[in-house]
Chain A
């Protein structure tokens, strides 16, 4: 492995991905566009500040609680576990697309580089983005512990070292799994489908693993409590057991200088390096083998002339044609499908895990005391939230990428094109409905007509979310991506839309709460929500209409 080569590939990828070169160029030239980029960055930080504050408070409260057990170090374990999980889960989709679907592979592979070197370079690029992802989760943990415990200089020296090491193990693990997955699916004919399934299975396995690790067998709650509070490391061990290496890292950070501490540190960094080495070694064997799988596609049937002609006869309106195009591209791009549909599976599971131990019967009983109007509105809110998280429209212009040119030259008014996208957004939002039906079967108090009503409400509330997402993406689409995953994951618009949309939903929640306190009837509350939603959606649509032509003209790829 020639580290120089790895470094070169990484730098090339990074420059390309983050537009570093353009940024530096604007800066040197004193171009005002530099200020624009900086301004957007500031805006993002501002939008995320409240969330960050809430998280900081939570960490602080955990610390407060842990002081009672004498295990304050648990905040560090918590940060490390959280960061590792994020890296691992996001890593899978990200690694697949960067390793296997980047456009620059056609350029890199003919160069005299070993597979492991190309892969390590790509790995470096993913790693760099992961450092950014985990910073807001990890740094507060270090800060809270460091400021409140005053652990001495060594702790602060270790902070950057551990920070740099943390994502290595989960990301190498994700890469290994992905490489195995890709080289297996490559053997089959239905590659796209298998890859999608594989990704789901991986994620489900992780969740199941997590569930088993944290599950407490019925009747043993007391023993567990004893273990956690009597063992001087009980809490830390309990929190960290899904990722045992995080326990070592915690120990290395919180105990004073000693042989034991050095050993923990060596263990942690040793395994990190080993994981990395293992990955590169496997890459030399497996990477290129799975690679062709990313590109080779099964052929369709050969049609006779009559059939072709018949297929060419079906005519749709431009709006429908555009919605159709969006849908097809989504369904046939495993990585988009994974991003959109996985969230529908993962989100409710992640939200539900703490409750599943209860059993659905108890859950239903718990809900019985909650106001029905609120449950129904929560269902509608869930649909709206899904329209943001899918993410149907906050990346829909970005996803067109360089092909946005085609949208610029077709004779369909940009606003009409955007309406087509909205139609697609609504269709995708409907994916949330099966979840609601499932919920109704399991524990939610809904019958058929309730579900119909909630779905309609949900679509009404989603309208504004979808238009808002579209406006955000239209203002600053990210079109020059190199692999399809970037269009979603490296796209700040997606995050923006989620934060703004969720904020909007929160305002609705506050409003409904006030109305209920004042004893307004359910009918009136529904009407208020619908009227306000439609009004907001209409004004946003007006803005979209105003800006559409100008933006479609201005954007240059």
Chain B
């Protein structure tokens, strides 16, 4: 579903190598956790996947389409949650969702059904008629999350989706994601919460200084490290070597 081949990206004319020849494949029905220390290149990779950044080299394919060559086809297939939940301040939650529904061409009844389900799950239905300006950080995040499910995309790409959510909401989100990928849908997300990755990712990848230093199921990662107690220990060992 997601294929990254030899992706490289540097900032400041090569001075900062944010991502270096990254190769990665995620299959349909998989939940993939993308881990790495601050500044490792997670957001950069994700931005390349959704077309916000042009890579210096390499190709990113989603659902068989190259983001460079067929950006629209790729964008139709993804739901994207950016690192910071920035939403137009001056429109209401409903208007935001309708905007996304319109640009994705989601029919009205379908749109209402999906949105309502998530709005109720996130307990956002009371605020959905207010301007986004009045939302708290977590409420914005919930709105963006709701929007990303609206067109039932085959691939969800999320940059730290749990940040700012209260325990109940992040629990519900995890349930929702698990349910989601059972229909052969793919979830790709970055996170710093190792417990989450450990619990419910089918596979994880660890990126460090722009390079993918480990990738696989929990068992596979355990083989790579000496200290096998927990993902936390493995992570620390691999990224501090």
Give residues in A with beta carbon < 8 Å to B. Answer: 29, 31, 295, 297, 299-303, 305, 308-318, 320-322, 324-325, 328-329, 332-333, 402-403, 405-406, 408-413, 549, 553-554, 556
Q: Inside 8 A of A314's CB, which chain B residues have their CB?
A: 98, 108
| CB–CB A313/B52 < 8 A | no
| CB–CB A313/B111 < 8 A | yes
| CB–CB A325/B115 < 8 A | no
Q: List 26 A-B contacts (CB under 8 A).
A: A31-B13, A297-B130, A297-B134, A300-B130, A302-B129, A308-B112, A308-B119, A308-B128, A312-B94, A312-B115, A314-B108, A315-B106, A318-B103, A321-B102, A322-B103, A325-B91, A325-B99, A329-B90, A333-B90, A402-B86, A409-B51, A409-B78, A411-B73, A411-B103, A413-B72, A556-B53
Residue among B50, B91, B129 with the most chain A CB within 10 A? B129
| CB–CB A411/B51 < 8 A | no
The A interface is mostly helix, strand or loop, or mixed, namely helix
Residue B41 at the chain A interface, CB threshold 8 Å: no
Residue B232 at the chain A interface, CB threshold 8 Å: no
Q: How far is the CA of A313 from the CA of B98 in the complex (A)?
A: 8
A333–chain B nearest beta-carbon distance, Å:
5
Q: Inside 8 A of B94's CB, which chain A residues have their CB?
A: 308, 311-312
| CB–CB B91/A556 < 8 A | no
B73–chain A nearest beta-carbon distance, Å:
8
Nearest to B124 among chain A residues (CB) is A308
Q: How far is the CA of A329 from the CA of B95 in the complex (A)?
A: 11
Residue B92 at the chain A interface, CB threshold 8 Å: yes
Q: How far is the CA of A333 from the CA of B132 in the complex (A)?
A: 13
Q: How far is the CA of A508 from the CA of B13 in the complex (A)?
A: 46
Q: Inside 8 A of B72's CB, which chain A residues have their CB?
A: 411-413
A273–chain B nearest beta-carbon distance, Å:
38
| CB–CB A315/B102 < 8 A | yes
Nearest to A553 among chain B residues (CB) is B54
| Cβ-closest 7 pairs across A and B | A321-B102, A313-B108, A411-B75, A332-B90, A300-B129, A312-B112, A411-B76
Q: Inside 8 A of B106's CB, which chain A residues have their CB?
A: 315
B19–chain A nearest beta-carbon distance, Å:
15
Instruction: With A305-B116, A308-B125, A315-B111 as known contacts, state yes or no: A411 contacts B91, CB within 8 Å.
Output: no
Instruction: With A299-B134, A302-B126, A332-B131 as known contacts, state yes or no: A324 contacts B108, CB within 8 Å.
Output: no
Contacts A320-B102, A328-B95, A402-B86 known; 16 new A-B pairs at CB < 8 A: A300-B130, A303-B128, A305-B116, A305-B120, A308-B129, A309-B112, A312-B101, A312-B112, A314-B108, A318-B105, A324-B95, A332-B91, A403-B88, A410-B75, A411-B75, A553-B71
| CB–CB B104/A329 < 8 A | no
Q: Inside 8 A of A406's CB, which chain B residues have their CB?
A: 86
| CB–CB A318/B102 < 8 A | yes
Residue B122 at the chain A interface, CB threshold 8 Å: no
Of B13, B54, B71, B98, the contact of A312 (CB 8 Å cutoff): B98
Residue among A410, A411, A412 with the most chain B CB within 10 A? A411
Q: Please classify how large the interface on chain B is, using the bins under 10, 10 to 19, 20 to 34, 35 or more.
A: 35 or more
| CB–CB B111/A328 < 8 A | no
| CB–CB B90/A308 < 8 A | no
| CB–CB B101/A315 < 8 A | yes
Q: Inside 8 A of B88's CB, which chain A residues have their CB?
A: 325, 329, 403
Residue B107 at the chain A interface, CB threshold 8 Å: yes
Nearest to B130 among chain A residues (CB) is A300
Q: Inside 8 A of A403's CB, which chain B residues have their CB?
A: 86-88
Q: How far is the CA of A460 from the CA of B51 in the complex (A)?
A: 36
| CB–CB A315/B129 < 8 A | no
Q: Inside 8 A of A315's CB, which chain B residues have their CB?
A: 101-102, 106-108, 111
| CB–CB A321/B52 < 8 A | no
Of B86, B103, B115, B129, the contact of A412 (CB 8 Å cutoff): B103
Q: How far is the CA of A403 from the CA of B84 in the complex (A)?
A: 11
Q: How far is the CA of A29 from the CA of B14 in the complex (A)?
A: 13
Q: How far is the CA of A31 from the CA of B15 in the complex (A)?
A: 13
Residue B109 at the chain A interface, CB threshold 8 Å: yes
Of B97, B98, B100, B115, the contact of A410 (CB 8 Å cutoff): B100
Q: Inside 8 A of B224's CB, which chain A residues have their CB?
A: none
| CB–CB A329/B91 < 8 A | yes
| CB–CB B97/A556 < 8 A | no
Q: Inside 8 A of A303's CB, which chain B residues have their CB?
A: 125, 128-129
Q: Inside 8 A of A308's CB, which chain B residues have their CB?
A: 94, 112, 115-116, 119, 125, 128-129
Q: How far is the CA of A95 from the CA of B98 in the complex (A)?
A: 34
Instruction: With A308-B125, A410-B75 as known contacts, state yes or no: A328 contacts B91, CB within 8 Å.
Output: yes
| CB–CB A312/B116 < 8 A | yes
| CB–CB A405/B86 < 8 A | yes
Of A302, A321, A413, A554, the contact of B99 (CB 8 Å cutoff): A321
| CB–CB A554/B112 < 8 A | no
Q: Inside 8 A of A328's CB, which chain B residues have their CB?
A: 90-91, 95
Q: How far is the CA of A308 from the CA of B120 in the complex (A)?
A: 11
| CB–CB B90/A405 < 8 A | no
| CB–CB A312/B103 < 8 A | no
Q: Inside 8 A of A325's CB, which chain B residues have their CB?
A: 88, 91, 95, 99
Of B98, B104, B119, the contact of A411 (CB 8 Å cutoff): B104
Residue B133 at the chain A interface, CB threshold 8 Å: yes
| CB–CB A300/B131 < 8 A | yes
Residue B32 at the chain A interface, CB threshold 8 Å: no
B46–chain A nearest beta-carbon distance, Å:
11
Instruction: With A300-B131, A308-B119 as known contacts, state yes or no: A408 contacts B51, CB within 8 Å.
Output: yes
